[in-house]
Amino acid sequence: MNTASRADALARAASHFPILGPCSAEDLLEVVRLELGHAEILDGFRPYGANFARAYCLSPLLHIVSGNTPHAALQSLIRGLLLGAQNRMKLPSEGLPEVGEFLSLLPAGLRDRATISTTLPAEWLREAEAWIVFGSDETIAHFRSQARPGVRFEPHGHLFSLGLVASPTPGAADAAARDISLFNQKGCLSPHDIYVRGDAAAFAAELARAMGDFAATEPPLPVTVAEAAEIHNVRANYRFRSASDARVKLYESEDSLDWTVIYENDPWFASSCLNRVVYVKPWPEGDPSAALGPVLGWLGAVGIWPSLPEVAELVAPLAPSRICPLGHMQLPPWSWHQEGRQNLAGLVRWVDFEADIR
């Protein structure tokens, strides 16, 4: 199969998974063109400057994925298959059924290029030419220490994301609720905090309404005993504080742990315990980096409302890898520079050809 036929088959399979967002063959080929210079450069020599070049995929690729966001695993697999590599994917111990379902939709010639397992065979580690690792900082450090010299290592670690509502107009709260709630807030693109220019306290009340509405149509995933304990502890702490401090307000789902909204009149970034627990804070005018110090360097995405250049300029100095409309944080385009890096370019090697033009 050439690149175009692989892209077509992958796009048809991806259409069955709304969590992947829009994914056409043209989208995938455009990523190849943007990152490698030519949509057909994996198929043969193509013009490259005054000469020619061809890209060869590293193969096999080893994907080590986590269980919190199945779309990240699917995206990684799609990229590896688009390149034409053999792919070996280590799934979390509980598995990811979406990966098996996706593979079942591919033609045999492409499906045979992927193997999945909840264990990690030693030969996978020995033979892989590139490792793509998703997980905590500890997980990434563990596998980085095991990678042999010369192996390409592509880490995707823990990141923080946030939202900025520069003008709390109708629709902003519903957009924020969607981004917070999807995947139980466990993805690197899930906002922990929503910052507001204007009346942040009023927006917190509106966001609580929107979180309740979203939960009514898309209930949260079950939480573990430990996760439930964390939510109870956070709620108890802010319930106590709000009783004597008007600068703090707690909104929580009734008789459940479905969602929690915390208003706090302090711009210092607060890390959420996840599972639809979000903080609403006033935007720190002047020098936002001072309030966001704990996450500078680990900022994945910022969702802005409205999505206008002047609003993007407010957050651009924080150097997130992505600025996008609030409500679309969980659906990055395939051309997104994940963590500020290209996704395909590090998984190929190049052969240059200087033609004899005499």
Does the pLDDT at position 69 exceed 70?
A: yes
* Averaged pLDDT, 303-326: 97
Kindly report the backbone phi and psi dihedral angles of residue 290, in degrees, each rounded to the nearest multiple of 5, phi listed first: -65, -40
Structure tokens at 317: 């100095």
Structure confidence at residue 204 (pLDDT): 98
- Give the residue range(s) of CATH 3.40.309.10 domains in the chain: 160-325
Predicted confidence band at 74 (pLDDT cuts at 50, 70, 90)? very high
Does the pLDDT at position 86 exceed 90?
A: yes
Does the pLDDT at position 358 exceed 80?
A: no
Predicted confidence band at 294 (pLDDT cuts at 50, 70, 90)? confident
Predicted confidence band at 67 (pLDDT cuts at 50, 70, 90)? confident
Q: Which of 103-112, 276-285, 330-339, 344-353 has the lowest mean pLDDT?
A: 330-339
Does the pLDDT at position 357 exceed 80?
A: no
What's the pLDDT tens digit per position in 121-135? 999 999 999 999 999
- Give the residue range(s) of CATH 3.40.605.10 domains in the chain: 3-158+340-353
* Averaged pLDDT, 247-267: 97
Structure confidence at residue 334 (pLDDT): 94
* Averaged pLDDT, 242-263: 97
CATH 3.40.605.10 applies to domain 3-158+340-353: yes
Q: Tell me the average pLDDT of the chain.
A: 95
Does the pLDDT at position 156 exceed 90?
A: yes
Does the pLDDT at position 173 exceed 90?
A: yes
pLDDT > 70 in the chain, percent: 99
For residues 281, 285, 289 and 295, what is the CA-based torsion angle, rounded to 10 degrees? 10
What's the pLDDT tens digit per position in 21-56? 899 999 999 999 999 999 999 999 999 999 999 999
* Averaged pLDDT, 207-236: 97
In words, the CATH class of domain 160-325 is alpha beta
* Averaged pLDDT, 227-256: 97
What's the pLDDT tens digit per position in 107-121? 999 999 999 999 999
Predicted confidence band at 303 (pLDDT cuts at 50, 70, 90)? very high
For residues 203-228, b (16+ Cβ closer than 10 Å) or e, as one string?
Answer: bbebbbebbbebbeeeebeebeeebe
* Averaged pLDDT, 337-341: 90
How many CA atoms lie less than 13 Å away from 51 in the CB half-sphere? 8
